[in-house]
Amino acid sequence: ISDDLDDDDAQSKVSLKISELQPPFQPSATPQHLQHRFMVWNSVGIVRCSNVPEDVIDVEFHDTSVHHALYIKNYMHHHIASLTQHALVLACEAEDGP
């Protein structure tokens, strides 16, 4: 009986369609093409990005007794953010070269 099972496994073929990777996204974020957009909005606070008149990131905490607001120049063109009470994490496209 086990020989029959081994023969069936050797003859069966599985093919999988390779799907394209989707672009990175962030839950609770608004589309990147907008001039003023939310990078993240959660229970800790809000991270907004504004491209007009200059590229800046504005961070507001719901509980200002925990942390004051931040205003950051977006030199590296960050487009994804995560916010906790202990950290603000920003992500951007990698640059080629050194």
Query: Which backbone phi and psi does 46 adopt, to 5 degrees?
Result: -130, 135
What are the structure tokens assigned to 79, written together? Answer: 């487009």
Whether the model clears a pTM of 0.75, i.e. scores above it, the answer is no
Q: Please give the DSSP secondary-structure letter assigned to residue 20.
A: P
- Structure confidence at residue 17 (pLDDT): 87
**Are 34 and 52 in contact, with CB atoms under 8 Å apart?**
no
- Structure confidence at residue 97 (pLDDT): 63
Among 65, 79, 69, 74, CA closest to 37: 79
pLDDT along the chain (98 residues), means of 10: 55 83 73 86 95 91 93 92 94 78
- Structure confidence at residue 20 (pLDDT): 86
- Structure confidence at residue 57 (pLDDT): 96
Q: Please give the DSSP secondary-structure letter assigned to residue 39.
A: E
